[in-house]
Structure 1
């Protein structure tokens, strides 16, 4: 039985409903074959019970048991055949549906990729891609198909019994109503909330683990690795507690369900023993037939409680998929020409969906065009979220982040013409060096590419390669060192000539000598640009005009390196640690 919120999710659905009509013939065929599978299973036991009892009563004529023998063979063959064809049909239907959904999903993501991260962390994105389409697949295989087939069987059994006894058909309708509707509703009401909570905890753990693994260097540098492990273990224990409650409830419910099936079997025995009385073991013939036919039908009805309580998971997936399409429909704006490219962060607060704690809390900041600013803070302080807000990947919960008076989340793809980003691990594609550098400007000439390679200190290296600019780069650029990959990323930025450059911890994992050389190259080549440097390292910090500290989402310290060294004991301590003193 479906929970009402799932119906509400279907009412506004634009992902699933259009394909139900498109593939309706396969859907109807799968439901018919599923019904025939259980019909043959029940009929096989019915005829077998009659045949065994009739044969034991010494029939006067072999013809009295010949037809049951033939029917036993027919239903015995029909059950696995229908089951096999039903599996092929239903899985083919679902795979066709989900393959179309995946194509639609990737089309939406590719079309509006710049807007996608506004309302999701990286872990959320991976969860959407990895889980939600699979949940839609399970919605049909584990909930819709079994539920509809069980409803058809319910109607068939009641109508069939009505030919023998109207009053017992009504009794059986009431007994099976409890199995088909009451137990599933009971599971939804008592266990549905736990199952929804389980999924939320899984999503939170998946998101936190993904984001923190990617920022593991922050935890190590801030010496808070133990804090993260403790926090993660506590959240994981909460998930285990919920799962234990789910398992305990399911065990008790399944035990009660089996007892209830026993009650139905006893009712059939009592009814058949009174209803079918005759000579030559007539009562025994029908008692065995009716009672044995019940047991295959138990398999059809027993799955309904689990199917019903999982609807909360499917409802959430439907809402996330439909919400994705709504978020993607954004019309980007453009920056006014010759505008001063000042960044203004106005009373910005931000929290991720399903989280009450603000990652950033009323942050107020102005970054004039041409300023060199470093953002420091421990892992989880909000500096990476601030970078995403500046790039327009996220939308503030409150306040605004504006570039030349335009909110950055409204600039769309055009923001890449203004803000260039060098991340912790720049990616090089499996193509030539020339094509990798030209990602910054596809129209650039080879002379311009050589010029930027010279500026970043890679010209000699590339010249020494047998094929020069035409040298193929292996997947992810692993033939180059970390410092060389960062210089390649800088060459792209210089070729793009963006007025603002965001350095998102680009020196993580480099040795001190390579790190210092890379920092010198960055700031010598970006001297005429706005530079926003996110770092947990203070090496090279004296080259910045301003340094800010973000702590628990708030701006704690702000000033030039010299001012902070003179006025902040915390800054002096961090600098001493960083310098190894």
Structure 2
């Protein structure tokens, strides 16, 4: 009942079985032919041996069995190989569709998903659930269907000779392919669920620990860090050991039942097939034909045993619902057509229980203008950047690019906006590849030119591998300032008219910060810049500065004019410069 209930409203398994049903039926047919050839091979081999032992008058009397033995001997691996190709092709097609669908589902509302799931949960979802569905097909559906078909075919075939014996063998096969698998599920269900829960906890713990590794080290609690997951790992290993012992004992029991089937066949053939020499030649052939079927029938219990894992994955995947896009008709705005960016009476709050973060904020930035937003943490500076990008939508007001709502250019917004934030991510590949991420169509010479413009040419050319230097995991080969320059080179290749700077110099020493800011504003002098910063270092590079305080603008204007006319600004500037 639980099995059918799980699939009642399923949209992650049944639709794909129907979509590729032709390939699935082909794989199942090939699986049956593999088992048939394996049984037929043993049958013809046994018959040939028995027939040869009767000293035939002419060798031609066993020529046909010899040919059949060779044919089935070749047919078994050939059918097996083709079946593997077809079944894995089917599974890979299905799982490819599933992974694409999962990505689109998560990507459609990534911010919502992160609010309701931990990072470790996301890792578990991506790493295990689709793999579980893949195993559901390969280790449960295929073996079970083929085993059921073989059991039915065998029972019918035997029933034509002796209905009573056919029914008795069917009962023994029923124990093998149905009763024992159900017992396996009932015994292992709770244990598997526990293992999955422990593993999920480990994902969450390891994610938290790795992201917070520096804090553990600084606090001097290295031992605690190492031992934090020890108990969970120990519990998981103990549970897996119990499952392994159960599996070993169960498979031994299945072998015993299969031995009982073989014994029954020995008795049956000796009673019914020894009336004359010709019939006696079939005794060993019939009994030997049974043995290869064990390779098909016994694995069914293993597939059933893992059903609780598959069930949990199917239920969790079916709870994921893509968020329908509410975007208006999209407009392909050309970068050269950009003229202005305007926030008109924008108000924003994250939810009804939170205070209004941004209230009636208005500002217009024209092409080529440089704007700096300053203020204490938590007042919404970064939120303004998210509103400009269209990642967030204001409850009131509008964000306009030229005369278009920013929501109208989301399909191609990378043509208009580029972002340089506090911690640009660098991939563990070459420097050229990392910079080319800004525009994959650019040539090596154009990438090198961008690297030169951000002031890294001498450093890179002094390295042994030069531009093919591997940057290391998350850019570990380079310092913080150098990583920002590499990300800046990406922006140069992207060549979007509006650049959003989200405190790119946080954590840098004053000298490095000054040099980086000078480089940024030098190479981006023809761009429109909106810069989030926490202090006044480098504000001489901008045309307009806004001081935000709580939900209102405290002061704004040209920094040079403010220095001359606003005593408060002059005081803040001197304090920031240490004067």
| TM bracket (short chain) | 0.5 to 0.7
2:18 to 17, 21, 24: 21
Instruction: Measure, in 2, the Cα distance between the counterparts of 1:435 and 1:26.
Output: 38
Instruction: Measure, in 2, the Cα distance between the counterparts of 1:168 and 1:130.
Output: 48
1:313 to 300, 309, 312: 309
**Aligned counterpart, 2:527:** none
Higher RCO, 1 vs 2 (CA within 8 Å, ≥6 residues apart): 1
Unaligned runs of 5+ in 2: 329-342, 360-373, 398-405, 440-451, 461-466, 492-496, 518-531, 540-544, 551-579
Instruction: Measure, in 1, the Cα distance between the counterparts of 2:67 and 2:251.
Output: 36
With normalisation by structure 1, the TM-score equals 0.64
CA 343–297 in structure 1, closer or farther in 2 if over 3 Å, else same = closer
1:82 to 65, 79, 83: 79
The Cα shift of 1:497 comes to: 6.4
2:300 to 299, 304, 316: 304
The Cα shift of 1:304 comes to: 0.5
**Aligned counterpart, 2:150:** 153
Instruction: Measure, in 1, the Cα distance between the counterparts of 2:323 and 2:420.
Output: 22
Instruction: Measure, in 1, the Cα distance between the counterparts of 2:345 and 2:313.
Output: 45
Q: CA contact under 8 A between 2:106 and 2:322: conserved in structure 1?
A: no
* Structure number with larger C-alpha Rg: 2
The Cα shift of 1:52 comes to: 1.7
1:295 matches 2:302: no
Instruction: Measure, in 2, the Cα distance between the counterparts of 1:459 and 1:62.
Output: 87
CA 279–513 in structure 1, closer or farther in 2 if over 3 Å, else same = same
Larger displacement relative to structure 2 (63-72 or 308-317): 63-72
Q: CA contact under 8 A between 1:35 and 1:149: conserved in structure 2?
A: yes
The Cα shift of 1:171 comes to: 0.5
Q: CA contact under 8 A between 1:27 and 1:93: conserved in structure 2?
A: yes
The Cα shift of 1:302 comes to: 0.8
The Cα shift of 1:297 comes to: 0.3
CA 319–514 in structure 1, closer or farther in 2 if over 3 Å, else same = farther
CA 128–423 in structure 1, closer or farther in 2 if over 3 Å, else same = farther
CA 239–506 in structure 1, closer or farther in 2 if over 3 Å, else same = farther
The Cα shift of 1:308 comes to: 0.8
1:481 to 453, 460, 479: 479
1:92 matches 2:96: no
Instruction: Measure, in 2, the Cα distance between the counterparts of 1:6 and 1:44.
Output: 37
**Aligned counterpart, 1:372:** 376
The Cα shift of 1:272 comes to: 1.4
Residues 241-264 of structure 1: CA deviation (Å, up to 9, x unaligned)? 111111011111111111111111
Query: 3-state DSSP class of the match of 1:372?
Result: coil
Instruction: Measure, in 2, the Cα distance between the counterparts of 1:343 and 1:120.
Output: 18
With normalisation by structure 2, the TM-score equals 0.65
**Aligned counterpart, 2:128:** 131
Instruction: Measure, in 1, the Cα distance between the counterparts of 2:3 and 2:174.
Output: 21
The Cα shift of 1:266 comes to: 1.1
CA 273–343 in structure 1, closer or farther in 2 if over 3 Å, else same = closer
| Map 1:217-228 → 2, pairs under 5 A | 217-228=214-225
Q: CA contact under 8 A between 1:425 and 1:506: conserved in structure 2?
A: no
1:48 matches 2:45: yes
The Cα shift of 1:43 comes to: 1.4
The Cα shift of 1:238 comes to: 1.2
Q: CA contact under 8 A between 1:430 and 1:477: conserved in structure 2?
A: no
The Cα shift of 1:512 comes to: 10
| Map 1:139-218 → 2, pairs under 5 A | 139-218=136-215
Q: CA contact under 8 A between 2:44 and 2:285: conserved in structure 1?
A: yes
**Aligned counterpart, 2:535:** 523
| Map 1:105-504 → 2, pairs under 5 A | 105-280=102-277, 282-283=279-280, 285-324=281-320, 326=321, 328-329=323-324, 338-339=345-346, 346=353, 372-373=376-377, 422=421, 424=423, 426-427=425-426, 481-483=479-481, 485=483
Q: CA contact under 8 A between 1:430 and 1:473: conserved in structure 2?
A: yes
